[in-house]
């Protein structure tokens, strides 16, 4: 293994999103010589923020931080920053108007799950009988324990099929579950793995009453979190090199010895790949060393989803009752959300007109539109929720297209998702699509897998202490008891011949 002259071991981290920054920060603090290579012009990955030519702050979609994001909250405490708003309430709209208002769940008397979610959510139209049709689904939620076995079992069917099998009413599916899938997994139910749907719904909504409470950054995540964090990485000795797109690796004796980036070569004792699925596909296309391995060839079985983020500056103030809003029923296979940035971002608090962010998920057909067409669509959709948007003039805007940007947890994809370890001794994987038993999702999962990859590198290179990773909040006692009983029944059934499709 190569070593720097002062004995420091070298780790190259590829990709500066939540996962890569998480790895790089911990490894730099443990005394490694860390080089973080980022293809884009700014760190942050899908959460990067930047300024337009008119000095307007924009970002690749607004990002919420849900109640169970314990590791991210521990990080911001450690950095001594207070980037977040208060916990916020949210609403849901359809073309018929306001459909749902959520309370602050943590402010309500605590009830065993799922009673709080069921009783405190204020559905304006959805009849009780439809809401009750969700109850049988609890059995699947108990059965899905995030184990490898559970993923294999539920990943083979679509979320829509799962809800159908468990007797969820058509209205509950269309007005509640599918909108959550479009916003949480970026795809409609027939294109989502049932395993991912169960894992995501449990983590964000059902595990504990307050889990659906969310807060936002008081500006872009880039300015509020990544700027102080990257400064801390550099203070710890880490080097962050933007505009560095990795294309290949060199290999000797089953070890990655260097990372290739255009004309530059970065020697490494260990490497963390913290790039998304589309990024890794491009690296594999260029790298014979990676293409020689089945696990990396298999990446071509995975996919990603188009998203569109827009920010509109209006000529007048429009009353938006709650700061964060999800919408359904406007587009058959596209979900969208809108946010009152005057309420969330410090810099827009005193702005004379409304600043609104509207983000579209599974936005394939919208990516082909030009900016004016996009703005027309956004204004029409916003007016479908709050009519005053129809009369407003858009005085400035930002349209950010993110083709193939976010992970697609498609049915059948689980078998090709990579774990943290690879067939190379010193190459580790991190990112929101990497298999982990932690149980978190999205930004928190990306950060956690970054720490997990750092810990694997530490175990391999033998220098420094592993990062402390906070586990998800344990299941409530009645859920633990139900899971134990379910495991017992499953064990009993194992002896039966496996003649039928699982």
Ligand X SMILES: Cc1cc2nc3c(=O)[nH]c(=O)nc-3n(C[C@H](O)[C@H](O)[C@H](O)COP(=O)(O)OP(=O)(O)OC[C@H]3O[C@@H](n4cnc5c(N)ncnc54)[C@H](O)[C@@H]3O)c2cc1C
- Residues lying near ligand X in the complex (CB under 6 A) are found at 14-20, 37-40, 45-47, 60-61, 63-64, 245-246, 274-276, 279, 283, 307, 309, 359, 402, 405-406, 431-432, 442-443, 446
Least Cβ distance, residue 60 to ligand X (angstroms)? 5
Least Cβ distance, residue 26 to ligand X (angstroms)? 14
Least Cβ distance, residue 304 to ligand X (angstroms)? 9
In this complex, which beta carbon is closest to ligand X, that of residue 100 or of residue 137? Answer: 100
In this complex, which beta carbon is closest to ligand X, that of residue 66 or of residue 389? Answer: 66
In this complex, which beta carbon is closest to ligand X, that of residue 38 or of residue 475? Answer: 38
In this complex, which beta carbon is closest to ligand X, that of residue 121 or of residue 449? Answer: 449
Contacts of 363 (CB under 8 A, 6+ apart): 306, 307, 308, 334
Residue with tokens 């300015």: 223
In this complex, which beta carbon is closest to ligand X, that of residue 153 or of residue 438? Answer: 438
Using alpha carbons, select from 200, 202, 199, 189 the residue that is nearest to residue 158: 189
Least Cβ distance, residue 138 to ligand X (angstroms)? 25
Report helix, strand or coil for 405.
strand
Least Cβ distance, residue 186 to ligand X (angstroms)? 8
Least Cβ distance, residue 19 to ligand X (angstroms)? 3
Least Cβ distance, residue 300 to ligand X (angstroms)? 16
- 118: exposed, middle or buried (Cβ count in 10 Å: 0-12, 13-18, 19+): middle
Query: Longest C-alpha distance within the chain, in Å?
Result: 70
In this complex, which beta carbon is closest to ligand X, that of residue 46 or of residue 394? Answer: 46
Number of alpha carbons in the 13 Å side-chain half-sphere of residue 173: 16
CA distances from 231 to 39, 217, 344, 394, 493 (A): 19, 18, 25, 36, 55
What does the DSSP 8-state code read for residue 431? S
In this complex, which beta carbon is closest to ligand X, that of residue 85 or of residue 133? Answer: 85
In this complex, which beta carbon is closest to ligand X, that of residue 22 or of residue 116? Answer: 22
What does the DSSP 8-state code read for residue 173? I
The DSSP annotation for 335-379 comes to EEEEEEHHHH-GGGTT-SS-EEEEEEES-GGGTTS-HHHHHHHHH
Using alpha carbons, select from 386, 358, 385, 387 the residue that is nearest to residue 94: 385
Least Cβ distance, residue 260 to ligand X (angstroms)? 10
Least Cβ distance, residue 68 to ligand X (angstroms)? 11
Using alpha carbons, select from 360, 412, 402, 404 the residue that is nearest to residue 192: 412
As a whole number of angstroms, the distance between CA 441 and CA 67 comes to 12
Number of alpha carbons in the 13 Å side-chain half-sphere of residue 27: 36
Dihedral sign for Cα atoms in the order 265, 269, 274, 277: positive
Least Cβ distance, residue 447 to ligand X (angstroms)? 8
As a whole number of angstroms, the distance between CA 451 and CA 26 comes to 7
In this complex, which beta carbon is closest to ligand X, that of residue 41 or of residue 489? Answer: 41
- 500: exposed, middle or buried (Cβ count in 10 Å: 0-12, 13-18, 19+): exposed
In this complex, which beta carbon is closest to ligand X, that of residue 172 or of residue 214? Answer: 214
Least Cβ distance, residue 437 to ligand X (angstroms)? 17
In this complex, which beta carbon is closest to ligand X, that of residue 130 or of residue 306? Answer: 306
In this complex, which beta carbon is closest to ligand X, that of residue 105 or of residue 137? Answer: 105
CA distances from 448 to 18, 179, 432, 453 (A): 9, 26, 9, 9
As a whole number of angstroms, the distance between CA 371 and CA 376 comes to 9
Least Cβ distance, residue 494 to ligand X (angstroms)? 35
| Residue 397 and residue 53 in contact, taking contact as beta carbons nearer than 8 Å | no
């Amino acid at each position: 293994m190569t070593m720097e002259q002062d004995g420091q071991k070298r780790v190259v981290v590829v990709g500066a999103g939540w996962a890569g920054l998480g790895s790089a920060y911990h490894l730099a603090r443990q005394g490694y010589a860390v080089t973080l290579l980022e293809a884009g012009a700014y760190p942050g990955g899908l959460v990067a923020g930047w300024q337009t030519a008119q000095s307007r702050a924009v970002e690749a979609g607004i990002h919420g931080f849900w109640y169970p994001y314990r590791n991210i909250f521990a990080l911001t405490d450690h950095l001594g920053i207070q980037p977040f708003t208060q916990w916020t309430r949210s609403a849901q709209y359809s073309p018929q108007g306001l459909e749902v208002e959520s309370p602050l769940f943590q402010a309500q008397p605590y009830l065993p799950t799922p009673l709080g979610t069921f009783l405190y959510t204020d559905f304006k139209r959805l009849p009780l009988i439809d809401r009750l049709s969700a109850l049988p689904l609890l059995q699947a939620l108990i059965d899905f324990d995030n184990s490898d076995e559970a993923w294999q079992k539920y990943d083979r069917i679509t979320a829509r099929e799962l809800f159908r099998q468990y007797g969820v009413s058509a209205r509950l599916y269309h007005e509640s579950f599918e909108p959550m899938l479009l916003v949480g997994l970026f795809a409609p139910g027939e294109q989502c793995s049932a395993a991912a749907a169960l894992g995501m719904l449990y983590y964000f909504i059902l595990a504990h009453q307050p889990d659906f409470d969310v807060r936002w950054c008081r500006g872009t995540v880039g300015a509020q979190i990544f700027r102080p964090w990257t400064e801390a990485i550099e203070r710890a000795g880490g080097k962050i090199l933007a505009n560095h797109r990795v294309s290949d690796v060199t290999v000797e004796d089953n070890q990655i010895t260097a990372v290739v980036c255009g004309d530059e070569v970065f020697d490494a004792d260990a490497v963390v790949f913290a790039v998304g699925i589309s990024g890794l596909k491009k690296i594999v296309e260029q790298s014979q060393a990676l293409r020689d391995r089945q696990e990396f060839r298999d990446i071509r079985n995975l996919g990603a989803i188009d998203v569109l983020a827009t920010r509109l500056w209006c000529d007048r103030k429009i009353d938006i009752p709650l700061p964060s809003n999800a919408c359904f029923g406007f587009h058959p296979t596209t979900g969208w959300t809108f946010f009152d940035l005057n309420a969330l971002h410090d810099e827009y608090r005193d702005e004379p007109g409304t600043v609104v962010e509207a983000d579209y998920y599974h936005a394939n057909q919208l990516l082909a539109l030009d900016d004016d067409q996009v703005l027309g669509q956004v204004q029409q959709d916003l007016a479908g929720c709050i009519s005053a948007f129809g009369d407003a003039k858009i005085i400035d805007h930002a349209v950010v297209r993110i083709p193939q940007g976010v992970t697609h947890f498609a049915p059948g994809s689980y078998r090709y998702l990579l774990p943290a370890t690879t067939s190379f001794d010193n190459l580790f994987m991190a990112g929101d699509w990497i298999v982990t038993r932690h149980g978190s999702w999205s930004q928190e999962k990306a950060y956690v897998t970054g720490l997990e990859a750092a810990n694997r590198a530490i175990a391999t290179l033998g220098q420094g202490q592993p990062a402390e990773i906070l586990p998800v909040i344990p299941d409530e006692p009645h859920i633990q008891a139900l899971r134990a009983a379910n495991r017992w029944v499953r064990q009993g059934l194992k002896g039966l011949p496996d003649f039928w499709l699982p």
